[in-house]
Amino acid sequence: MCGDCIKQRCPDRGSICLDTGAYLLNFQGCSECKVREPLVVRDRHEETEEDGEETVTYQHVCPNCMHVIAEHSYTFSVEDDFQEYQMFCMLCGRGADTVSVLPDDPRRQQPLF
């Protein structure tokens, strides 16, 4: 992974969790060949564990010289009544989100009295 190719390392992306694509606003340009072209994905792997947890990993690579800019990791799991999403990438940042699988999210219900 190359910290010279990006503007900010692991920016906080809040609840944004990407399993594809790249955060190009954070891409400064390839430090090896000095080109700023849209990145390509290399070595994409998808794994599903027995408990249902899904993990997607891949590398953001310069299309000109094949320099590895960053490694991207995305995880999805279901725990109790919630879907859990997590992302970590030096280019795209870090993010996490939790979504209820129920029609009405119990965390957002307001007391009647």
Q: What is the CATH number of the domain that holds 77?
A: 2.60.40.4240
Q: What is the DSSP string of 72-88?
A: EEEEEEEETTEEEEEEE
Percentage helix, strand, coil for the chain under 3-state DSSP, each rounded to 5: 10, 40, 50
Q: Look at residue 112 and tell me if it is in a domain.
A: no
Q: Look at residue 10 and tell me if it is in a domain.
A: yes
Q: Look at residue 111 and tell me if it is in a domain.
A: no
Of the pLDDT bands very low, low, confident and very high (cuts 50, 70, 90), residue 112 is: low
Q: Look at residue 90 and tell me if it is in a domain.
A: yes
Number of structural domains, the chain?
Answer: 1
Q: Look at residue 81 and tell me if it is in a domain.
A: yes
Q: What are phi and psi of 53, to 5 degrees?
A: -65, 130
Of the pLDDT bands very low, low, confident and very high (cuts 50, 70, 90), residue 52 is: confident
